[in-house]
Each structure stands twice: as C-alpha cells, then as structure tokens.
Chain A
Amino acid sequence: MLEKAFYGDKKYWAWLSFLALVIFVGLLFYLRQFNEGLTITGLKRDVTWGFYIAQFTFLVGVAASAVMVVLPYYLHNYKAFGKITILGEFVAIGSVLMCMLFIFVDMGQPFRIVNVFRYPTFNSLMFWDTVALGGYLLLNIVISRVTLSSERKGIAPPGWIKPIIIISIPWAISIHTVTAFLYSGLAARSFWLTAVLAPRFLASAFASGPALLILIVYIVRKVSKFDPGKDAVQKLAVIVTYAMSMNIFLILMEIFTAFYGNIPEHMRHFQYLFVGLDGYNTLVPWMWTSVILAVVSLILLINPKTRRNETVLGFACFFVFLSIWIDKGLGMVVTGFVPNPLGKVIEYWPTFPEIMISLGVYAIGIFLITVFYKIALSVRERIA
C-alpha cells in the first residue's frame, strides 16, 4: 500500500520538494539551537514557555478533533462521514507527531527525553500527557491502516477493530483534557487556573479541527477525483458552528468570573491580552483580530444561507481556524506568564530562528499528511 506514495504527478512532487526544503531550513536552525541553547529563542527567565509549547497545545486540539468524524460514523452510524473518517485520522496522526516534535524542540536536554520513562512520575501530568499522546498515535495508526487496507481489498474491516475505534473516542477527549490539566492545575498561574480550561480547549479543538478538515476537503476535491460529498461537508459545518459557539461562550464565562468577581490576579491577564498592561500591548492587535474573525465567522456559520454556500463556508472555516490559532497558538500559553507571579509585565515574542524551527516542524507534519492522503486517495480512486 505504501508504494502508492511514490507515484504522483509533477504538482505532488513539487509540493513535497517545497516541504522538504522548509524542513531542511528548519533543521539547520534547530542545529543552531542545539549548539547554542534555547537562548536563540525569544524565551526568557520570566516567560519560559512560548511559541513551541503554544503550537503543541493548538495541535493537540487538531489531533483530538478527529473524534468529530469518528464518533458520528461509528457510534451513530452516520454514513455521510464514511468517506471522511480516514482523512480525519490521518490529520490526527500528523498532528500528534507535530505535537511530539514541538515538545522535543522545546526541551533543554532533548536526549534525556527517555528519563520520562526511566523514572515514571505518576503525579506529573507531563507523564500522563506523554502516555496519552503516544497511545493516541498508536490507536490512529492501527485504525487507519486496518480500515484502509480492508477498503482496498473491498471487504469489511475485521471485527476486532471496532472496540479499538470505540476506545479511540474517549482517548481523543483525554489527550486534550490532560493537556489542559498541564495548565489548569498550576496555582501559580491564575490565568490558567480555571476549571473551564479543559472544556474550552475541547470546544476550540472541535471548531478548529473540523474547520481545517472542510478546507482540506476543498483541496482534495481540486487535486483528486475523490469527493467525500456535500452532505459530509455540511454536517462538519454544523459541528464547527456548535463548537465555535461553545468556545466563545466559555471564553465569555471566564471574562465574567474574572471581572464581576473582580479578582486582580485573574483580571490582569485579560487586561494584558485585550487592552495592554503597564504600557505593554504586543498581543492586543492579535487578540482583537481573533475576536473580529470569531464574530464574523459565527455570523456566517449560524446563518443557514451563508453556511450552505460552500464558498462562504470556506471563508468562515478559514476565519475560525485563524481565530483559534491566534487564541491558542499565540495568546493562551504566553499570557499565563504575563504578568509574572511577582506582578511584573515582561513580554515575549518569538524570534526568527524560533519561527523557522516551528515552520520546519509544521512542514514535517504536512509532508506526512500529504503522503498519507496520497495513499488513501489512490486507494479510493482505484475503487471509484
């Protein structure tokens, strides 16, 4: 089956070559970071997690969101998702691998990563996150491989795969919950110390993931003869709409509690995000962009006329994705450190090498997803 990845047209090879180039450049910058230390990033004594960990957090969400196609198909027998589950699972595999790489590039002593298993520490959520992500990766590799190969042979998937698929559903929820617990269990960081963080992470994941999947379906239709169908896209659009509404709702809950409760330690982080604090406001324009994108996308999604228009839906999904990326991939992690526990505002912004390394990691993920899709689509086209 894997050999299908080696037969492609010029566009396919050009795209892969481009990604390989980005990976190579990222690798060069990573070697520099490896030699000089994390000092080449924008991270500092008071903001010790930044762009890498934020991308990790965002991508855990994308990975978990595969459950939004797996669950309706396998639990509710929603047939329209039959052709799209494999696409969701491949995005999940690529995303989990990117998550792991983002953790790896963020580590001060990457070669000691085995220590996490040599000295397993059950009271550390970092340990459980590693277990959850590794397990999720394994589940998705097994599931996608088994279902796709039976599809190729034109037979029904073996019976034993069904319980594994069912397990993968709560497992997907768990990876993002445990990732939220990394943050929401820290009394030192009032911005993260909220019970709503895990539900918020899930809501934003179930909006951004399916939004990405819709955009991917648009691309798949262009580059191949395979089409998961209009019904599937519309159903995904409804999922995006509900999840995005929940996400906005939960953010407003946070703001209510912080500001009506009038707790300075909680308010100050939101002030830093949306109006700036003590004259520091790097993230303010970004956060307002995120807000505007969220509002516009919600209007386009909730209105059935605009949602059913596939062109408009494409824009709405792009806005959702971008809005949540800004919120999670820029604001969420850094703002936990600003202001710091001593009440000082010390800002952070990623450096050029940091961004190049991140792009390299993204390119690795996209490269793999492209190859997986190539295999899946070749199988599908042959059947069709």
Chain B
Amino acid sequence: MGIDRRGFIRIAGLTAFGAMSNSVFDHAVASEEITEEGLVAASLKAHRWAMVIDIKKCQEQHGCTKCIDACHTVHNVPDYENPKDEIKWIWHETYEHTFHEQEHEHLPEHLRHLPVLVLCNHCDNPPCVRVCPTKATFQRNDGIVAMDMHRCIGCRYCVAACPYGSRSFNWREPKRWFEENDVDINKSFPTRTRGVVEKCNFCAERLVKGQIPACVEACEANAMFFGDLDDPDSEVREILSSRFSIRRKPNLGTLPQIYYLL
C-alpha cells in the first residue's frame, strides 16, 4: 500500500492545485524537483556514516560532558537520575566495561576507570534490525540505524539483541518529566512517548539540514570525528589509515561503525 498511497497523495495534491490554476497554487511543483535546489542541496549525505573517537584526547578533558549534554538537550532525553528508568543516547562508560574482554588485572588503575564515550554503533550488520518484528528499527542507505517511534510496539527484542547496551526503553512518560521538573523542551525535536525504544540516531535530523552531529559539534577537544567511510578522502578515512583503532566486540560480526583511538 505504501508506494501506491504515496503516489496517490502526490497526484491528488497536484490535481487539487491544478484545478485552481488561477490561484496561489499555480506554482505548485512536485516535491522531486526541489531536491536539486535550495536547502536540500545543503544536506549532508554519505554512503556510510561513521565516527572516530579519540579516547586519550577525550580523557584529557577530565570529566567533560559537553557532548553528552549537547546530545541529550537537543534530543529531549530526560534525566531521571535513577538507573532503573534511565534513558541515554551517549554516555561515559569505564574502559573495563566498554572493552571488558580486554580487561586484565595488571591494567593501570587510571586506564581501567578511563571514561570511554559509548553510543549506538550504527552497525553495518545490525542485530537489532534483524530481530525487530515491525521494521520500526531499520538501516538507512547511509548506514544509520534509525528508529521509527511511530511504529515501535515496545517489545524490547532489539534491546535484547544489542551487544552494546545502546538502547533505552521508555518505562515512563517522558513529557511528564519535563513538565514536573520544569525543564525546557527543545522546540525543534519531538519527545518520545511511553513504551517505545530509543537510541542515538547519528543526528539524522541535523544531517538533513547540513549540520554535523550535536556531540561532534560540542566537542572542544577535537576528540570526535564524523564522516563518510566510503569517501577515501574523508577525515575519518585519513585517521583510520594512519592510526591504531579498535572497535567494541568485533568478534560478534556486527561491524560496528564507531572506531576508538587509544
């Protein structure tokens, strides 16, 4: 039904405009035509978005949370201050938990507790997408693993399938939290409703307007890099080909697209 309905709406819309040929609707054009002009041209596009995080540079900022704050403010992520209902898109995890198969007893204390930024890995082979019974979570052509909150039934199968703990479920009504705590809601992004799963979306809503992800923009330490892995001249490709990098749980075959520099 999807394509037919869409086609129908375009035609129906145009016919309606056409019927009023002397009115202001005169100039109506099909939406396809604008992809070549104006704002659309400015949107950031890629074949494979990826992120590189420099752990060392990040750690030198000693407890800086600018990227986390930026993300959670932009995306209206409530702060319940309780780990049970907690929702997080990007957060600090200790080295021993982020790379816990790499942990050993002679690891220096500061390394063990080294804060590492973690977020959705936007895997090339995402298990969450594989298990979702409604395609509410899906992979876009540019590699972003996205969520359609309108469709999510809240079964939490994707949460069970994610090997990185990147997904959060809305146990409570998030809007109520904003009201009760008198926290401002970002006007340009919706909140979520109770009973759906959410996670980092690589700022898809910003990319389409030509902006880089909020966390990367907020990072003043130059510790986060974002770009197209399919573009051999991109900054991320340059970094990855010149420095040693690791990924979380590469053995699971999920092909995570967040790369860490040590």
Residues of A near any B CB (own CB < 8 A): 36-39, 43-46, 48-49, 103, 106-110, 112-113, 115-116, 118-119, 121, 123-127, 130, 182, 185-189, 264-265, 336-337, 340-344, 346
> Are A108 and B154 in contact (CB-based, < 8 A)?
yes
* Contact pattern, B 176-196, Cβ under 8 Å of A = 1, otherwise 0: 000000000000000001111
In the bound assembly, the distance between CA atoms of A340 and B130 in angstroms comes to 20
With known contacts A39-B171, A108-B194, A127-B133, A49–B162 Cβ distance under 8 A: no
> What is the minimal beta-carbon distance from A16 to any residue of chain B, in angstroms?
33
The answer, among B100, B162, B173, for a CB contact under 8 Å with A343, is B100
> Are B160 and A45 in contact (CB-based, < 8 A)?
no
Chain B residues within 8 Å of A123, by CB? 130-131
Q: Which residue of A lies closest to B157 (CB)?
A: A126
In the bound assembly, the distance between CA atoms of A121 and B137 in angstroms comes to 11
> What is the minimal beta-carbon distance from B195 to any residue of chain A, in angstroms?
3
**What are 24 inter-chain pairs, A to B, with CB distance below 8 A?**
A36-B173, A37-B173, A39-B172, A45-B85, A45-B169, A46-B83, A49-B160, A103-B155, A108-B197, A109-B152, A109-B153, A109-B154, A109-B193, A109-B196, A112-B151, A123-B131, A124-B133, A126-B131, A127-B133, A187-B163, A188-B162, A188-B164, A342-B100, A343-B97
> What is the minimal beta-carbon distance from B95 to any residue of chain A, in angstroms?
11
> What is the minimal beta-carbon distance from A325 to any residue of chain B, in angstroms?
22
Chain A residues within 8 Å of B96, by CB? 343
> Are B157 and A188 in contact (CB-based, < 8 A)?
no
With known contacts A37-B195, A112-B151, A121-B135, A336–B160 Cβ distance under 8 A: yes
Binding site secondary structure of chain B = loop
- Given contacts A44-B85, A188-B127, A342-B100, could you give 5 more A-B pairs where the C-beta distance is less than 8 Å? A109-B154, A188-B160, A189-B160, A265-B101, A342-B164
Judge whether B44 is part of the interface by a CB distance below 8 angstroms. Answer: no
Chain A residues within 8 Å of B66, by CB? none
In the bound assembly, the distance between CA atoms of A343 and B171 in angstroms comes to 23
Residues of B near any A CB (own CB < 8 A): 83-87, 93, 96-98, 100-101, 103, 127, 130-136, 151-157, 159-165, 168-173, 193-197, 249, 252-254
> Are A107 and B132 in contact (CB-based, < 8 A)?
no
With known contacts A45-B84, A108-B170, A108-B194, A341–B164 Cβ distance under 8 A: yes
Chain B residues within 8 Å of A39, by CB? 84-85, 171-172
Q: Which residue of B lies closest to A264 (CB)?
A: B101
Q: Which residue of B lies closest to A333 (CB)?
A: B160
> Are A341 and B153 in contact (CB-based, < 8 A)?
no
Chain A residues within 8 Å of B170, by CB? 37, 108
> Are A187 and B127 in contact (CB-based, < 8 A)?
yes
Chain B residues within 8 Å of A188, by CB? 127, 160-164, 252
In the bound assembly, the distance between CA atoms of A349 and B113 in angstroms comes to 29
Chain A residues within 8 Å of B151, by CB? 112, 115, 119
Chain B residues within 8 Å of A336, by CB? 160
Q: Which residue of B lies closest to A128 (CB)?
A: B133
In the bound assembly, the distance between CA atoms of A187 and B254 in angstroms comes to 9
> What is the minimal beta-carbon distance from B176 to any residue of chain A, in angstroms?
10
> What is the minimal beta-carbon distance from A350 to any residue of chain B, in angstroms?
13
> Are B169 and A108 in contact (CB-based, < 8 A)?
yes
The answer, among B130, B172, B252, for a CB contact under 8 Å with A36, is B172
> Are B153 and A116 in contact (CB-based, < 8 A)?
yes
In the bound assembly, the distance between CA atoms of A341 and B103 in angstroms comes to 14
With known contacts A45-B169, A115-B136, A126-B133, A37–B156 Cβ distance under 8 A: no
> Are B155 and A108 in contact (CB-based, < 8 A)?
yes
Chain A residues within 8 Å of B133, by CB? 115-116, 121, 124, 126-127, 130
In the bound assembly, the distance between CA atoms of A72 and B212 in angstroms comes to 66
With known contacts A109-B153, A126-B157, A187-B127, A119–B135 Cβ distance under 8 A: yes
> Are B134 and A119 in contact (CB-based, < 8 A)?
yes
Chain B residues within 8 Å of A108, by CB? 152-156, 169-170, 194-197
Q: Which residue of B lies closest to A192 (CB)?
A: B160
> Are B173 and A112 in contact (CB-based, < 8 A)?
no
In the bound assembly, the distance between CA atoms of A185 and B211 in angstroms comes to 38
> Are B172 and A37 in contact (CB-based, < 8 A)?
yes
> What is the minimal beta-carbon distance from B137 to any residue of chain A, in angstroms?
10
> What is the minimal beta-carbon distance from B245 to any residue of chain A, in angstroms?
20
> Are B165 and A342 in contact (CB-based, < 8 A)?
yes
In the bound assembly, the distance between CA atoms of A2 and B215 in angstroms comes to 64
> Are B134 and A116 in contact (CB-based, < 8 A)?
yes
In the bound assembly, the distance between CA atoms of A38 and B154 in angstroms comes to 10
Q: Which residue of A lies closest to B103 (CB)?
A: A343
In the bound assembly, the distance between CA atoms of A317 and B101 in angstroms comes to 43
Chain B residues within 8 Å of A343, by CB? 96-97, 100, 103
In the bound assembly, the distance between CA atoms of A213 and B86 in angstroms comes to 43
> Are B196 and A342 in contact (CB-based, < 8 A)?
no
Chain A residues within 8 Å of B100, by CB? 342-343
> What is the minimal beta-carbon distance from A120 to any residue of chain B, in angstroms?
8
Q: Which residue of B lies closest to A41 (CB)?
A: B171
> Are B162 and A341 in contact (CB-based, < 8 A)?
yes
Q: Which residue of B lies closest to A107 (CB)?
A: B154
> What is the minimal beta-carbon distance from A152 to any residue of chain B, in angstroms?
41
In the bound assembly, the distance between CA atoms of A300 and B105 in angstroms comes to 48
Chain A residues within 8 Å of B101, by CB? 264-265
In the bound assembly, the distance between CA atoms of A336 and B159 in angstroms comes to 12
With known contacts A108-B152, A108-B195, A341-B165, A124–B131 Cβ distance under 8 A: yes
In the bound assembly, the distance between CA atoms of A115 and B93 in angstroms comes to 35
Q: Which residue of A lies closest to B163 (CB)?
A: A188
> What is the minimal beta-carbon distance from A175 to any residue of chain B, in angstroms?
16
